[in-house]
Structure 1
Amino acid sequence: MGKDNYEFLEKYLNNASPTGFEAEGQKLWLEYIKPYIDEYFVDTYGTVVGVVNPAAEYKVVIEAHADEISWFVNYITSEGYIYLKRNGGSDALIAPSKRVNIHTKKGIVKAIFGWPAIHVRKLENEKAPTIETVFLDCGASNKEEVEAMGIHVGSVVTFEDEFTELNNRFYVGRALDNRIGGYMIAEVARLLKENNNQLPFGLYIVNAVQEEVGLRGAEMVAHRIKPDVAIITDVTHDTQSPMYDKKTSGDIHCGKGPVIAYGPAVQNNVRDLIIQTAEDKKIPFQRSAVSRATGTDTDAFAYSNAGVASALISLPLKYMHTTVETVHKDDVENVIKLIYETLLAIQDKQDFRYLS
């Protein structure tokens, strides 16, 4: 990875892009990808699409989602404490003692998730923190002081934790799910441009919003683009750390390569092309079974516009929806390589139907 790529990755991951409020992160992403595309468009809710060969009839999408889980201010007590609602799958269990940023029109307001000390709590039959019990302290003495800071019901809250590396092998931070995906598809666009690859089809590099609340951004943009093929990248669970049951969660390793999904929403012929590409280019990969739905934007594309031939390439990740989401650097490079090589293998107007 070059210096410019790394600086973009760090800046992009550190920027907050909570679900429904992704605009600032989308600006960073678009600015990075502009040199590698012919044109772009942005939809009403903030999904950004870079396009290569916009005049081509046959359309291929590569896609990631831009949003991160967060919180909404829901209730401010008369004493100045703040209770929250989830925005996406935020986990109250990890909240106590965390630092947060409250996003207001006046700028960032710092706050903390407070929690009573262990020796003053009644520990017998103690319950884990829940959304009803965790609260923020922004240093105010009463509700009026909170509101004077610009905080109100509906203000968005994100964790303060930032990007780092672990022993030069892993990237660690909040919101790798799935801004690391946005980075990877941007790198695919960069490789295509720098290697002067002339694709025979239109390529739509999609950084979609609102995945964490039901694949909403992908659903909207799929109907607008009406692609013929969609290759989605998201994260999936590394199952090697304690507390995973491989019989139900599969056997997925960070460091052993991209994960190629099997399931009804995954179009078999597109998936087989990806596997053949990985084997031909000697890219390590793993397999996963996803049952009736992938739980990713793959589902939104697959079931749009009378059906789009769609597949899912996942990045193994540890500790999803925490502030220490962790991915192996080799896996990041291999996902980029696999998407890139698969695009070069797709033919113009390739028919992926099972029957013709």
Structure 2
Amino acid sequence: MSDTRKPWNSPMPAPQFDLMRRILSAPSPVGLEAAMTYGVLKPHFESFAPAGWQLRQFMGHAGVVLDTHPGRDDLFKVMIIGHADKIRMQVRSIGEDGKIWINTDSFLPGVLIGHEVTLFSEDPEAPGSYRRIEGGTVEALGAIHFSDMAQRSGEKGIKKEQIYLDLQIHGENKKQQVENLGVRPGDSIILDRAIRHGFSPDTFYGAYLDNGLGCFVTAEVARLIAEAGGTEQVRVLFAIASYEEIGRLGSRVLAGELRPDAIIAVDVNHDYTAAPGIGDRRMQPLEMGKGFTLSVGAIASEQLNRIIETTAREQGIPVQRDIVGPDTGTDGMAGVLAAVDCVATSIGFPIRNMHTISETGYTRDVLAAIHAITHTVQALDALSDPHREFRDNHPRLDQAGPLVHQGADKPEPADT
């Protein structure tokens, strides 16, 4: 039976799921993130932020930061980062037959075929004003009848140069019909699928869990901290970054501008157990349904990880260790990229089918991340001197004690 005092052991409440859906549904392709940051997250932040908190906006991109103690550079600053940008397709050229040839960005070409999309076209007569075209599908081969045997058998794949958007254009002057719409090279295209509840309990699926989920978690941590009365020794910067999908450039700006002492990136991770065809890679068996993930390696701070892992254990929040090697692959690298001295790590949740129209997640993993980060912020706030804690307590492997063989007995299962 679920413990209602531990939200990560219960289904996500409907209003919370609706907020997650609204954040994930916001059309925010790379470079055009304001639909999520200004359209959904900014008013949400403003709905619960205490009077002394401040929302910061930026000129070069549509990132936002909710600051609990503006101007208090003497406090220990913790930046929690999700990124609002979604991978996109982009108009490359328009063919004489009305086909709109597109770049596929970070998608595998084969996962796009047949899916509905929305094209956002900037009005040539009113720069800065956008129109929406719905009803088009992404295509490449047209029909199996036009494919050679190697493509029919799967031995031969689809090249990205073959991908086009079909608006069902017919009749005379097909290219002109498209141009008359104002469609131009550079216009953005995103997949059109809303988030839905999945078949299995507490699951959900749809496009762009990467990384509206990280933004949702960041926003929910902010709300919980506000409802708990805020913090005293820790200045929390709830950051929604941009440009992560093209090199983590937005979070680098945020870290460079605000110079946090600690960074916790929040981003999707992989369900390696369910991923097909990677068994010989011997990946860490991260699995949807078994809790949030915590990055180990690269620039991940062992001190910060210790506090997160200890806090999660004390609260009974399930956590999985994620081995990241030389690069977290997330905004956890923001401090390094901005040359800012800070401790950093990355927290995530295993999902399936990343960078497809059917990304799949588990609400309890997301809730586990929300509450693990919330309790971590509160644990940092309870330290007598957070700055000294991290300066003075770097792990010393020269002080490691000996470990001897522990036998073959399996530990008793924990009570659930």
TM-score under structure 1 length normalisation: 0.95
Answering whether residue 248 of structure 2 is matched by residue 215 of structure 1, we say yes
Q: Distance in 1 between matches of 2:340 and 2:214?
A: 26
Indicate the SS of the match to 2:161.
Answer: coil
How far did 1:2 drift? 4.2
Deviates more, 1:344-353 or 1:264-273: 344-353
When structure 1 is superposed on structure 2, of 342-351 and 129-138 the one drifting more is: 342-351
SS in 2 for 1:26: helix
User: Out of 164, 167, 171, which is 2:204 matched to?
Assistant: 171
3-state DSSP of counterpart to 1:184: helix
Answering whether residue 131 of structure 2 is matched by residue 107 of structure 1, we say yes
Show CA shifts across 1:65-98 (max 9, x none). 11111111011111110111234x1221111111
User: What do the CA deviations read for 1:29-79 (whole angstroms, capped 9, x no partner)?
Assistant: 111112333111111211110111223322111111111111110111111
Does structure 2 conserve the Cα–Cα contact (< 8 Å) formed by 1:302 and 1:309?
no
Please say which of residues 30-39 and 144-153 is displaced more in the overlay. 30-39
Give the AA of the match of 2:83: H
Q: Any residues of structure 2 matched to 1:116-127 within 5 Å, and which?
A: 116-124=142-150, 127=156
242-251 vs 5-14, greater mean Cα deviation: 242-251
Name the residue aligned to 1:26.
37
- Segment drifting more, 237-246 vs 19-28: 237-246
What is the aligned partner in structure 1 of residue 325 from structure 2?
A: 291
Distance across 1 between alignment mates of 2:373 and 2:85: 21
- C-alpha separation in 2, matches of 1:230 and 1:69: 23
Letter in 2 for 1:52: T
Which has the larger displacement, 193-202 or 91-100? Answer: 193-202
Give the equivalent residue in structure 2 for 1:60: 78
Separation (CA, whole Å) in 2 of partners of 1:309 and 1:335: 19
Letter in 2 for 1:140: I
Which shifted more, 35-44 or 20-29?
35-44
Q: Pick which of 314-323 and 116-125 moved more.
A: 116-125
Q: How far apart, CA to CA, are the structure 1 residues paired with 2:386 and 2:28?
A: 36
C-alpha separation in 1, matches of 2:15 and 2:265: 25
Q: Which amino acid aligns with 2:323?
A: A
| RMSD after superposition | 1.8
Which of 329, 350, 367 aligns to 1:333? It is 367
What residue in structure 1 maps to residue 180 of structure 2?
A: 148
- 1:135 is aligned, of 164, 171, 194, to 164
SS in 2 for 1:29: helix
Partner of 2:405: none
Gaps of 5+ in 1: none
Indicate conservation of the 8 Å contact 1:313/1:335, yes or no.
yes
Residue 355 of structure 1 deviates from its aligned partner by 6.2
Name the SS for the 2:104 alignment partner: strand
Identity of aligned pairs, percent? Answer: 26
Check conservation: 2:303, 2:393, Cα contact below 8 A.
no
Give ranges in structure 2 of 5+ residues lacking alignment. Answer: 1-11, 123-129, 395-416
Tell me, yes or no, if the aligned pair for 1:277 and 1:345 is still in contact at 8 Å.
yes
Deviates more, 1:151-160 or 1:108-117: 108-117
The question of 1:353 aligning with 2:391 is answered: yes
Is 1:86 paired with 2:104?
yes
Query: Structure 1 residues 300, 92: closer, same or farther in 2, change over 3 A?
Result: same
Distance, in Å, in 2 between the alignment partners of 1:15 and 1:303 is 28
Distance 1:303 1:276, change over 3 A: farther
**Larger deviation: 189-198 or 222-231?**
189-198
SS at match of 2:260: coil
**1:137 corresponds to which letter in structure 2?**
D
| Structure possessing the higher radius of gyration over alpha carbons | 2
Secondary structure at 1:172's aligned position in 2? strand
1:301 lines up with 2:339 in the alignment = no
Q: Determine the structure 1 residue equivalent to 2:126.
A: none
* CA drift at 1:246: 6.6
1:289-342 deviation digits (Å, cap 9, x = unpaired): 111111111112244344211011111111100011111111011000100000
Number of residue pairs matched by the alignment: 355
1:217 aligned partner, one-letter code: G
Residue 3 of structure 1: CA displacement? 4.2
Q: Distance in 2 between matches of 1:185 and 1:263?
A: 23
**TM-score, normalised relative to structure 2:** 0.81
Contact 2:112 2:356 in 1 (8 A): no
Q: Following the alignment from structure 1 to structure 2, what is the Cα–Cα distance between the partners of residues 302 and 91?
A: 29
> How far did 1:354 drift?
6.0
> CA separation in 1, counterparts of 2:57 and 2:329?
24
Encode CA deviations 1:185-232: one digit per residue, 9 max, x unaligned: 111111112222434221100010010000010111110010111111
